[in-house]
């Protein structure tokens, strides 16, 4: 039952050796061409980033160190008394590539609870933010402000060896992951209780119970404790949203900003602002808005034809169908399937009108999107259902949904940041070209 730090210290030299070999023996191997269309097409399809913890197969979906989601559901320890994967287990797998023991996961939960309490300055900062500010903006501000506590930034200022960077980045990352639920819950409290920010009553929302796992605490801190189904859902949701290889906006942003040796708080804050875009993390909020509008229009017992018509009206008005399509995936998202299965085995969920409608749409929309003929992937992505479940559980503040995604994405983005420094990766600096410069390179 080795500690996480000892496990990392053991694995890192092996990985460093592997990278050195790749560079010296295969550094000149060509893995693909750069086409003009890659440059003007958001770098789609360019194999241009190192990302250790997960690889997205266009057809099979995400694999975490080679493990599929169903594998992880079988292998990774759950919370005490729970069945679903917890973020602590997923973080251990992402960081080390190993399946943790139950004792290792419990130790990590305890460490997070011990370090989860926010200092009074951070609480004051959050409480003083304009409650009308989007919760993701509040989240990014609070996370960035913690950089005053960065062990990496302090050590760098003093002068440390490059080989030591990763130890400080790991400490900061674990500290940030421990505090994210407290920050997120504080923002939630202030949205739900206008005018009560900083009141004596609000202090209760910050208490961290040393006996609970990360999500167990988060749910209590949001004031939603006592609902085991919601707690289990959030454990699964947060574990599954953790990592989706490196090229997505939030993950890539953390990696890019971190490559300038900005500390983990600044790097992850930048990632959160990318996550806040409607084509990325905000999609779950958009899906819910769209599904509720559909429900209002077609009612609770909609026919196939009515749903088809509604889908066409969305497409014909020039909008995307939110929750469908993906930059890399070309099949139904296994994260969507996992959340759908979570609903299928719980009658109180599968009979909920909104969740029923989501399922019906997922059976009909692929045909409509194929006929529409634009999107390369007509299948649901994870956002097609995630927000609707939150709504069912009574989280009716749509704008808050992406914050929960933000609590999750940290486990993947910060894992890679540790590896970036452990592997000594350099500052990222791709070459850009103007249209004139591209034209000059085109063979006549």
326 has catalytic annotation:
yes
Q: What's the min distance (Å) between Cβ of 61 and ligand FAM?
A: 11
Find out whether 84 and 239 touch, Cβ atoms under 8 Å.
Answer: yes
Residues near ligand FAM (CB under 6 A): 248, 279-281, 283, 315, 320-327, 374-377, 381, 383
The residue annotated as part of the active site, out of 65, 241, 244, 280, is 280
Instruction: Please give the residue whose beta carbon sits closest to ligand FAM in the complex.
Output: 325
Closest CB to ligand FAM among residues 147, 248:
248
Q: Kindly tell me which of 96 and 416 has the beta carbon lying closer to ligand FAM.
A: 416
Q: Could you tell me the smallest distance in angstroms from the CB atom of residue 322 to ligand FAM?
A: 5
The strand pairing partners of 56, in sequence order, are 62
**Terminal-to-terminal C-alpha distance of the chain:** 64
Catalytic residue status for 67 = no
* In the complex, least distance from residue 242 CB atom to ligand FAM, rounded to whole angstroms: 13
Nearer to ligand FAM among residue 45 and residue 198 (C-beta): 45
List the catalytic residue out of 326, 333, 392, 420.
326
Are 238 and 407 in contact by the 8 Å Cβ rule? The answer is yes
Would you say 234 and 87 are in contact if contact means Cβ atoms under 8 Å apart? no
Measured from the CB atom, is 96 or 362 closer to ligand FAM? 362
- Nearest approach in angstroms of CB 35 to ligand FAM is 15
Contact residues for 229 (Cβ-Cβ < 8 A; gap 6+): 346, 348, 349, 393
Q: Which residues on neighbouring strands pair with residue 324, listed in sequence order? A: 380
Selected catalytic residue, list 172, 175, 263, 383 = 383
Task: Find the shortest distance in angstroms from Cβ 44 to ligand FAM.
Answer: 6
Nearer to ligand FAM among residue 264 and residue 281 (C-beta): 281
Other Cβ atoms closer than 10 A to 120: 7
CA distance 177 to 119: 15
Residue from 397, 416, 392, 418 nearest 184 by CA: 397
By C-beta, is 116 or 327 nearer to ligand FAM?
327
26 in active site: no
CB of 88 to ligand FAM, least distance (A): 23
Tell me the DSSP string of 377-427. Answer: --SB-THHHHHHHHHHTT---GGGHHHHHHHHHHHHHHHHHHHHHHTT---
The closest alpha carbon to 189, from 127, 245, 240, 259, belongs to: 127
What residues are annotated to the active site? 280, 326, 383
């Amino acid at each position: 039952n080795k500690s996480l730090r000892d496990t990392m210290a053991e694995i890192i030299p092996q990985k460093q050796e592997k990278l050195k070999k790749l560079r010296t023996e295969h550094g000149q191997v060509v893995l693909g061409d750069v086409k003009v269309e890659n440059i003007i097409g958001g770098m789609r399809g360019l194999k241009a980033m190192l990302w250790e913890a997960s690889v997205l197969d266009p057809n099979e979906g995400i694999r975490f160190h080679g493990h599929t989601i169903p594998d992880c559901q079988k292998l990774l320890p759950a919370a005490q008394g729970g069945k679903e994967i917890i973020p602590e287990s997923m973080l251990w797998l992402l960081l080390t590539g190993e399946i943790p023991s139950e004792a290792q996961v419990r130790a990590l939960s305890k460490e997070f609870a011990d370090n989860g309490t926010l200092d009074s300055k951070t609480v004051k900062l959050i409480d003083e933010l304009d409650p009308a500010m989007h919760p993701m903006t509040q989240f990014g501000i609070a996370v960035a402000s913690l950089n005053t506590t960065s062990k990496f930034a302090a050590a760098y200022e003093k002068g440390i060896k490059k080989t030591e960077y990763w130890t400080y980045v790991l400490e900061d990352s674990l500290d940030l992951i421990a505090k994210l639920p407290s920050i997120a819950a504080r923002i939630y409290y202030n949205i739900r209780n206008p005018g009560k920010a900083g009141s004596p009553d609000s202090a209760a929302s910050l208490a961290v119970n040393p006996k609970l796992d990360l999500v167990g605490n988060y749910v209590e801190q949001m004031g939603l404790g006592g609902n085991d189904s919601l707690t289990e859902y959030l454990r699964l949701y947060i574990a599954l949203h953790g990592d989706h290889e490196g090229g997505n906006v939030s993950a890539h942003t953390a990696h890019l900003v971190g490559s300038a040796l900005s500390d983990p708080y600044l790097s992850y804050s930048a990632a959160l602002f990318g996550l806040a875009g409607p084509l990325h993390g905000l999609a779950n909020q958009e899906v819910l808005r769209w599904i509720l509008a559909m429900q209002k229009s077609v009612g609770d017992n909609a026919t196939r034809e009515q749903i088809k018509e509604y889908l066409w009206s969305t497409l014909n008005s020039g909008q995307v169908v939110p929750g469908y399509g993906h930059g890399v995936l070309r099949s139904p998202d296994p994260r969507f399937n996992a959340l759908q299965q979570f609903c299928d085995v719980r009658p109180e969920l599968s009979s909920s009108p909104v969740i029923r409608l989501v399922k019906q749409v997922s059976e009909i929309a692929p045909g409509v999107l194929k006929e529409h003929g634009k999107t390369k992937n007509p299948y649901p992505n994870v956002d097609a259902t995630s927000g609707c479940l939150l709504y069912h559980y009574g989280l009716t503040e749509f704008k808050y949904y992406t914050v929960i995604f933000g609590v999750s994405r940290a486990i993947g983005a910060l894992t890679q940041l540790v590896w970036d420094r452990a592997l000594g990766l350099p500052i990222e600096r791709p070459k850009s070209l103007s249209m004139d410069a591209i034209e000059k390179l085109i063979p006549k």
